[in-house]
Amino acid sequence: MISQHLSSSFTSITCNFIGIDSSMKELFTFYSNFKDNGCMIGICGMGGSGKTTLARVFYEKFHSYFEGSSFIANVREYSEKFDLLQLQQLLLANILEEKDADIRNVYHGVNMIKKRLCQKKVLIVLDDVNKLDQLENLAGEHGWFGLGSLIIITTRDKHLLDHHGVHKIYKPNPLNSDDTLKLFCLKAFKKEQPNEGYMQLSQDVVCYANGYPLALITFGSFLLGRTMDTWKSALDIFKKFPKKEIFDTLKVSYDGLEDMWKEIFLDVACFFRGKMKDQVIEILETCGFDAKIGIQVLMDKSLLTIENDTLQMHDLLQEMGKEIVRQESREEPGKRSRLWLRKDLFHVLMNKTASKTIQAIVLDRPGGDEAYQHIESYSEVFSKMCNLRLLIIDNVHILKGLNHLSNKLRLLDWHGYSSKCLPSRFQSKELVELKLQFSKIEYLWRGVKYLDKLKLINLGHSLNLIRTPDFTGFPRLETLCLRGCINLVEIDRSIGGLSKLTVLNLEFCRSLTNLPSSMDGLSFLICRGCEKEIFKSTLDSVHHEFENSAVVKATKIMGTYDDSNMAEHSASWSFPGETERDLDSLAVA
């Protein structure tokens, strides 16, 4: 029977619960403020962070002060195996100290809970809740219960608690450095301090666990009685082969996500942890994801945090995400959805093991092993990556150029791209952003290419660039950055037909010989460091066009020169509230 699984007695409270006192006091203090009425408190956090332990200790310490109590453990797990009706029966049986109540259906159960418990001061813990209907049918409102009742809900999902309207959402306090070492040592050495000669090794493991209680317990238990050699290699073992107990606990939250949120989580875990939130959102939206909503969902599920406007997650959550990708093909990186290590990309290229499974490649850390910086004759392997949507690479040189890129590519960002042009067959109808800063590009391609979704081109500091492409095929282009392209001579006149172009950065394009005068929608033209005479002869017509434009109030043209006439132009096109910093944010290179 389910009741035999859920109503087993708990171990008596002992002093072995490390670092829990402050959390207990905070919970009790908050309850004290509501005890004359009754309240609901949610304890929220990632799996294994100590939510259940805190709720259990609180329950054991205070349940005798209530007229009835019930601790319903593993609500998520058991509601998948059994009916909520059985959980209702258990709740009533525990509190009323009767045998299983005669409940005909879930709706009848709700009415019985209200009727039988509305005059009783009760303590109820609903542990590991993951769906709203569990709360609605077990503890829909605090008014179901008598004055002074306390309902504690543990969950990984903050949004669920918000929706249910709990009075307080509490996150367990992280263990301090002394407590983390103590908890680890109790498992690894059966005492509160390391054995002689093991202090540094213990501190290394504790640092990797980063205050995560389940990891401290699991790692300590694994290392108990192990040899010094095993201890020395412990961190490598834990990183390469995540402990099943930890992986399975953390993966529960991932498994409960919708498919799009899973993709966003894996992208952040593999590529974007520590990156600026807004930049990551832009990249993910370029890939077709609802990134703003997705990131909020991941935060609500305790899988992601925002710190100083950057995306962060616990080390072990990141490792869990990477392990999910590795499990797609343990031995062959070419059959995985994501590549983030140079050695894996070069393995795929050199062994020609690329496949349609690969969705994204991000190698954004410059430097590294010189052997992983040059590709000679393997560029054709990219042709097998037919589902590649995201390619961000820094400091990898393809000496003989690329023959092919996926036509499903949405973002191409290759810092230091070493070929003189992109593949002639490249025709991605999905491409939204093209970034080839500091490249060896001389021209993008010959003729006209129709890239209907392309919104941004950034060729900043491409010193070999001589001319721009025909822009006819980019009707949605909004931003064009040619900053620092010192040998750029000509901008194709078709740029004048780009009605959606709002930002044109020509800073330090000192070799330019022309600037098309017809640019109807342009809001920002950055031309500092360009040839004075060329712009002097063309800016008047551009200025006249802006003066008659509906967007003139949002327009600023920047031309910082010694020439007094040019300075006069610049001043006349400045508008209240705009600063040079505002304009610099549009440089994008």
Per residue in 461-504, pLDDT (tens digit) is: 999 999 999 999 999 999 999 999 999 998 998 998 899 999 99
Q: Are residues 302 and 261 in the same domain?
A: yes
Q: What percent of the chain has pLDDT over 90?
A: 60
- Amino acid (1-letter code) at residue 256: G
Distance CA 144, CA 125 (A): 15
Q: What is d(CA 388, CA 382) in angstroms, rounded to the nearest whole number?
A: 9
Give the domain-ending residue among 145, 170, 195: 170
**What's the CA gap between 456 and 286, in Å, rounded?**
11
Whichever domain contains 281, its CATH number is 1.10.10.10
398-419 burial: b if 16+ Cβ within 10 Å, else e: beeebebbbebbbbbbbbbbbb
Whether the predicted pLDDT of 542 surpasses 90: no
Inter-residue contact 347 to 333 (CB < 8 Å): yes
Relative orientation angle of helices 564-572 and 532-547, to the nearest 10 degrees = 20
Which of 279, 306, 322 terminates a domain? The answer is: 322
Q: What range does the domain containing 226 cover?
A: 177-241
Residue % of the chain over a pLDDT of 70 = 83
More confident residue, 266 or 445: 266
Q: What is the pTM of this model?
A: 0.83
Please give the tally of structural domains in the chain: 4
Which alpha helices (H) appear in 357-396, and where do they start and end? none
Q: Quick one: 109 and 185 in the same domain?
A: no
Segment 373-389 shows an average pLDDT of 75
Of residues 20 and 477, more confidence is placed in 477
30 found inside a domain: yes
pLDDT digits (tens, 9 = 90+) for 225-234: 998 888 988 8
Q: Are residues 449 and 574 in the same domain?
A: yes
Q: Is residue 419 part of a domain?
A: no
Give the CATH number, domain containing residue 561: 3.80.10.10
Q: Do both 126 and 229 map to the same domain?
A: no
pLDDT of residue 540: 54
